[in-house]
Amino acid sequence: MDSIKIFSPSSVANLSCGFDVLGLCLDTIGDEMIIKKSTIPGLRIIKIDGEDLPLAIEKNVAGVAAKSYLNKFPTEIGIDIEIYKKIKAGSGIGSSAASAVGAVFGINELLERDIRKIDLIPYALEGEKLASGETHADNIAPAMLGGLTLIRNVESLDIIKLPSPSELIITIIHPKIELKTSHARTIIKKQVPLKSVINQTANIAGFISGLYTNDYDLISRSLNDDIIEKERSLLIPGFNSLKKTALEIGALGCGISGSGPSVYALSRGLTKAEEVASGFKNVISRLGIDYDIYISKINSKGVRKSI
């Protein structure tokens, strides 16, 4: 195999009740990458399509992740990477994680090495660190492994793949405003009232229980964020209207995707998810903001070779 094509999916981190610990892999939007063997030794990013991102290895999330992997598992073979960004940087659906995961997974596949996906995560995390300044696995883990993932401990990479009830459908709206993850992080309060902690732990516990028992009502009752939504949502124009609309239509829950500005809703069934998408469009159109909108099942596989 001299060349490989990769689909590296977008993802939704946090999911309201799981700040920094929960993530979900999307199915219908993701980056494409082509990774080729080269007779010239070394690692190069030779093309980036769709976004204005640096080609320099040490300044590029995919480059840093790939380099980290190759430092651990060196090769004499030269590697050229082409990145076709479909996920907009700064959209809040795991753009940098997709780049990092795709590069590491793709090179590992290209070199036909027998390393499990979960063991590739530390190298992808190195790339993510370049984007956010901190080690966060809540997009990396679902993009790599697929499904719904829990980061129980990021240092020890204790990652649990949770069940994904089959009728869960996600609607995502990306209002095209600039919002840097690092900025979104700075406005979060560093201290949380004890009452909010109790609510948050109760809700994530209810959510996890609902996933194991296919209890959509319990999932719905648990999809609340007592930690960051109030502050972060101030940066997202129309957030309160988007959320109100989604819940009135009958979404199970609605909140900020990652650090925003994208907003996600979880619905039971495709029809409901489509109705939510229409509702989202109405709200955001009235504000005169350009947007992208997506509807997706949960992608149970994660990053994969594409045909």
Q: Is 51 in the site for its own copies (CB under 8 A)?
A: no
Structure tokens that stand for 131 in this block: 């984007």
Q: Is 187 in the site for its own copies (CB under 8 A)?
A: no
Q: Distance between CA 206 and CA 17 in Å, rounded? A: 9
Binding its own copies (rule: CB under 8 A), the pick from 8, 9, 13, 19 is 19
Start-to-end CA distance of the chain, whole Å, equals 14
Instruction: With residue 217 as reference, give the H or E element that holds it.
Output: helix 216-222
Looking at residue 24, its amino acid is L
Which of these segments, 1-9, 207-215, 231-239, 296-304, binds its own copies (CB under 8 A)? 207-215
Which of these segments, 26-34, 68-76, 213-221, 290-298, binds its own copies (CB under 8 A)? 213-221
Cis peptide bond N-terminal to 175, omega within 30: no
Q: Distance between CA 110 and CA 81 in Å, rounded? A: 11
Q: Is 247 in the site for its own copies (CB under 8 A)?
A: no
Structure tokens that stand for 258 in this block: 């990652």
Q: Is 115 in the site for its own copies (CB under 8 A)?
A: no
Q: Is 1 in the site for its own copies (CB under 8 A)?
A: no
Q: Is the CB of 35 or the CB of 151 nearer to its own copies?
A: 151
Task: Look up 213 and say whether it is catalytic.
Answer: no
Q: Are strands 22-38 and 148-153 parallel, antiparallel or unpaired?
A: antiparallel
Structure tokens that stand for 27 in this block: 């199915």
Q: Where are the beta strands (DSSP E) in 14-112?
A: 22-38, 43-49, 78-84
Q: Which member of 126, 149, 171, 181 is catalytic?
A: 181
Residue 149 sits at φ, ψ, to 5 deg, of: -125, 150
Instruction: With residue 305 as reference, give the H or E element that holds it.
Output: strand 304-305
CB of 17 to its own copies, least distance (A): 8
Task: Look up 181 and say whether it is catalytic.
Answer: yes
Q: Is the CB of 234 or the CB of 287 nearer to its own copies?
A: 234
Binding its own copies (rule: CB under 8 A), the pick from 162, 179, 235, 247 is 162
Binding its own copies (rule: CB under 8 A), the pick from 200, 220, 233, 257 is 200
Q: Is the CB of 201 or the CB of 278 nearer to its own copies?
A: 201
Residues that bind its own copies (CB under 8 A): 17-22, 150-153, 158, 160, 162, 188-194, 197-198, 200-209, 212-213, 218, 221-222, 227
Residues annotated as part of the active site:
128, 181
